Amino acid sequence: MNGLPPGSVIGILGGGQLGRMTALAAYPLGYQVHIFSPEEGPATQVTPLRTLAQYEDEDALARFADSVHAVTYEFENVPSATAEFLAARVPVRPGPNALAICQHRVREKQFLNDAGVGTTRWGAALSAADVARWVSEFGAPCVLKTSRFGYDGKGQTIVRSVDDAARAWTVVSHGRDGVECIVEAFVDFSMEASVVVARGVRGDVASFDLVENIHRDHILNRTIAPARVTEDVAAQADAIAHTVINALDYVGVLGIEMFVGRDGRVLVNELAPRPHNSGHWTQNGCVTSQFEQTVRAVMGLPLGSPRRLADAEMFNLIGDDVLRVPELLTDPNNHVHLYGKAEWRPGRKMGHVNRLRF
Ligand SMILES: Nc1ncnc2c1ncn2[C@@H]1O[C@H](COP(=O)(O)OP(=O)(O)OP(=O)(O)O)[C@@H](O)[C@H]1O
Ligand SMILES: [Mg+2]
């Protein structure tokens, strides 16, 4: 099988910057791109084909399915019913099952542990009493997170003691019992790291180098490629990436967020079923970018080489950082990527810079 021929259409659910960069990587391979999004955004600026509709709009989804040859998504909070509706009509990659696992923290941790992949100790919680029980079992501090719809550290809080459980529950659940949450033992990590890994329709796997991630205000601030770790840590991370992507029977690009423990053990924090912010450096630092790799996987082409051509540092342009672009452009090793967002707001990801080191 040679994959979908040039002229075929890749459908992308979501209109944000990841969709924009995936779309921009699809055109050199001769593909057309159709964005499905509730509203205009960074991605719809670069594609003539778009459907502006709600993810629950089955008429719009059916028309979209008829007009594309494969579908992927650029963020994981697409309703699973939407992915299933589309998958009955057109290949959806990664499939609805992988999406369902990655968009629910309890299911995700259970899946990882069942696959033999280490995580921090965790327990499912539906009430403040559940939280208190897990905190007393794991010891404080713990992290309480909603199982669904968290991003950039939203929907989570640290539980400082058993007595803090009620406050933490109110913050995260807004006081409603039955909201699905997870309690995680706090990881005393020496580094946050991640692997972006791809799997093609024939089961071929290609992983980019392990990278090191530095967060600020719960938002990824900086990625350093490759991560400054021992060979053993890099090998553990790569083995985990292969195990996870094969166990998910995945087609597409997967971001795997990890903690490197002070004991040198690698634990998985969470999975992102799409290109990942920590993989942006591959646009300029690798033979194949994570976005081209997404297109190759989803359209059934052979994967490209993930080989690193240069060491790199990626930093996000958040809020008014974007005002520094003219100055950043004076460094010849900087590649500036802006997302076309009209106005900056505090905390808003406006773009990123890949700075290569030769
Ligand atoms: N169990 C934990 N122990 C220690 N720190 C944690 C733990 N869970 C999360 N964190 C910290 O909080 C950050 C955000 O957590 P997580 O990745 O689970 O949430 P998120 O909202 O999906 O974030 P993002 O969208 O940035 O990936 C992590 O990158 C890490 O710094
Ligand atoms: Mg995260």
The helix, strand and coil proportions of the chain, stated in percent and rounded to the nearest 5, come to 35, 30, 40
Bridge partners, 71 (sequence order): 11, 92
Task: Note the pLDDT tens digit of each residue in 66-101.
Answer: 999 999 999 888 999 999 999 999 999 999 999 999
pLDDT of 2 reads: 82
pLDDT at 233: 98
- Comparing CA positions, the residue from 64, 83, 65 lying closest to residue 73 is 83
Ligand with an atom nearest the CA of residue 142: 1
- The secondary structure element, H or E, covering residue 212 is strand 211-216
Longest Cα separation, the chain: 60
Q: Does the CB atom of residue 215 touch ligand 1 within 6 A? A: yes
Q: What percentage of the chain carries pLDDT values higher than 70?
A: 100
Evaluate whether 9-102 and 121-185 have a shared fold. Answer: no
Indicate which atom in ligand 1 lies nearest the CA of residue 189: 4
What is the CATH code for 121-185? 3.30.1490.20
The mean of the pLDDT values for the chain is 96
**Contact 236 CB / ligand 1 (< 6 Å):** no
196-200, 234-238, 280-284, 345-349: least confident range: 345-349
231 CB burial (10 A radius; 0-12, 13-18, 19+): exposed
- Residue nearest to ligand 1 atom 23, measured at CA: 152
Would you say domain 9-102 falls under CATH 3.20.20.150? no
CATH number for the domain running over 189-357:
3.30.470.20
Ligand minimally distant from the alpha carbon of residue 217: 1
Q: Is 228 a pocket residue for ligand 1 (Cβ < 6 Å)?
A: no
In this prediction, residue 176 carries a pLDDT of 85
Domain range annotation of the chain: 9-102, 121-185, 189-357
Give the position, in ligand 1's atom list, of the atom nearest the Cα of 142. Answer: 1
Between the CA of 260 and the centroid of ligand 1 the distance, in Å, is 13
pLDDT for 212 equals 98
pLDDT of 261 > 90? The answer is yes
Among 4-8, 43-47, 173-177, 266-270, whose mean pLDDT is lowest? 173-177
Confidence (pLDDT) at 105: 97
For atom 26 of ligand 1, the residue with the nearest CA is: 152
Both structure tokens of 111: 């899946």
Choose the residue to mutate in 121, 149, 212, 218 for probing ligand 1, maximizing ligand atoms within 8 Å of C-beta: 218
Q: Is the dihedral of CA 354, 25, 209, 257 positive or negative?
A: positive
Average pLDDT over residues 31-60: 98
| Substitution candidate for ligand 1 out of 218, 269, 277, 318 with most atoms within 8 A of CB | 269
The sign of the CA dihedral 51, 53, 56, 62 is negative
In the chain, alpha helices (H): 17-26, 58-67, 80-87, 96-102, 105-114, 128-138, 165-173, 231-247, 282-285, 290-298, 325-328
Average pLDDT over residues 23-38: 98
Mutate to test the pocket of ligand 1, among 119, 121, 156 (most ligand atoms within 8 A of CB): 156
CB 275 within 8 A of CB 74: yes
The answer to whether the CB of 255 is under 6 A from ligand 1 is no
Ligand found nearest the CA of 219: 1
What's the average model confidence in pLDDT over 293-313? 98
Instruction: Starting from the CA of residue 155, give the closest ligand.
Output: 1
pLDDT range class, residue 1, cuts 50, 70, 90: low
Instruction: Please give the distance, rounded to the nearest whole angstrom, from the Cα atom of residue 120 to the centre of ligand 1.
Output: 12
The pLDDT confidence band at residue 188, using thresholds 50, 70 and 90, is very high
Report the C-alpha gap between 157 and 266 in whole angstroms. 23
Q: Is residue 151 over pLDDT 90?
A: no
Residue carrying the six token digits 């500036």: 336
Are the C-beta atoms of residues 289 and 25 closer than 8 Å to each other?
A: yes
Beta strands in 239-333 (DSSP E): 252-261, 266-272, 311-318
Ligand 1 pocket, residue 157 CB under 6 Å: no
Cα 153 to ligand 1 centre (Å) = 6
Nearest atom, ligand 1, residue 186 CA: 3
The verdict on the CB of residue 313 being under 6 Å from ligand 1 is no
Q: For the residues 108-134, what does the mean pLDDT come to?
A: 97
At CB < 8 A and 24+ separation, what contacts does 116-119 make? 116/243, 117/240, 117/243, 117/244, 117/268, 118/265, 118/266, 118/267, 118/268, 119/184, 119/267, 119/268, 119/269
DSSP lists the bridge partners of residue 313 as 224, 355
Ligand in nearest proximity to the CA of 213: 1
User: What residues does 256 pair with on adjacent strands?
Assistant: 195, 271
